[in-house]
Amino acid sequence: MLQTIAGNRRRATLLATFAVAVVAASAYAVTNPGAAASGGRHAEVLRVDVAEDFTRFSFAPSPVDADGQPAYGNAFVTQGYIYPEGTLDGADGVLEDGRPQFPDKVLGEWTCRGFFVGNGAKTTKGPWVVTSQLFKLDKRFGRSTLTTEGYELPEVGVPIARAITGGTGRFGTARGEQTQRMLGFGTGDGVKLRMTLDVQKR
């Protein structure tokens, strides 16, 4: 009789422990939306706007079109400012001299390098560049960075997925997906971009 009571208590304790674990796991999945989809890997979602500093856009002398604009295959590099999402709603993010419009909001530096495809700089639909992007998210170079690869589109508001390929510091094992949307052109025809980086960490 005593053994039966003790056994029932043990079973009740195990069931209660299991129920608590299930509730805790469900709460984690809700507060960490990438956790369940990524097989339990830690997820960090970054939502940012990027304003290109037009003074730092540089492209190769060839190939170019008759008007001197980059043609298919032209290589380029450019940089800009990383801001919190929503900063560039109704703003350019860059001043005429290339300085950030909102220096107190700058989260880091964005560097983009790649090649023009499609119809070069005249592309209006579909991929116009294939690029590597580097997000510098700390004042010290190399301390906290993210890297992504993929296509970019010139169409305003149209999303495109890019691969998160790695990083350093807290992003040292980063993988995942970046979603990018063109917001339009700002000061000096620098691009304005909105990005969501769904970072999975192994």
Which of the residue ranges 2-6, 53-57, 67-71, 160-164 would you say has the lowest mean pLDDT? 2-6
Q: Which residues pair with 109 in a beta bridge?
A: 81, 136
CA nearest 193: which of 165, 166, 162? 162
Q: What is the pLDDT of residue 31?
A: 32
Structure tokens, 32: 């960490």
- What are the pLDDT digits (tens) for 91-126? 999 999 999 999 999 999 999 999 999 999 999 999
Domain containing 11 equals 1-31
Residues 47 and 116 in one domain: yes
CA nearest 184: which of 151, 158, 149, 147? 158
Q: What is the pLDDT of residue 34?
A: 40
Q: What is the pLDDT of residue 106?
A: 98
Q: What is the pLDDT of residue 202?
A: 82
CATH of the domain at 112: 2.40.480.10
Residues 75 and 145 in one domain: yes
Does residue 152 register a pLDDT over 90? yes
Residues 196 and 114 in one domain: yes
Number of neighbouring beta carbons within 10 Å of residue 192: 25
- What are the pLDDT digits (tens) for 2-26? 344 344 444 444 334 333 333 333 3
Residues 150 and 181 in one domain: yes
Structure pTM? 0.79
Q: What is the pLDDT of residue 10?
A: 45
Mean predicted lDDT score pLDDT of the chain:
85
Measured CA to CA, the distance from residue 166 to residue 189 in angstroms comes to 30
Measured CA to CA, the distance from residue 55 to residue 67 in angstroms comes to 20
Give the pLDDT band (50/70/90) at residue 42.
Answer: confident
Residues 120 and 170 in one domain: yes
Find the Cα–Cα–Cα–Cα dihedral 183, 184, 186, 192, rounded to 10°.
40
Residues 155 and 86 in one domain: yes
Measured CA to CA, the distance from residue 155 to residue 123 in angstroms comes to 9
Q: What is the pLDDT of residue 44?
A: 94
Give the pLDDT band (50/70/90) at residue 178.
Answer: very high
Residues 100 and 14 in one domain: no
Q: List Cβ neighbours of 130 (8 Å cut-off, separation of 6 or more).
A: 114, 115, 117, 150, 151, 152
Q: What is the pLDDT of residue 160?
A: 98
Domain count for the chain: 2
Give the pLDDT band (50/70/90) at residue 60.
Answer: very high
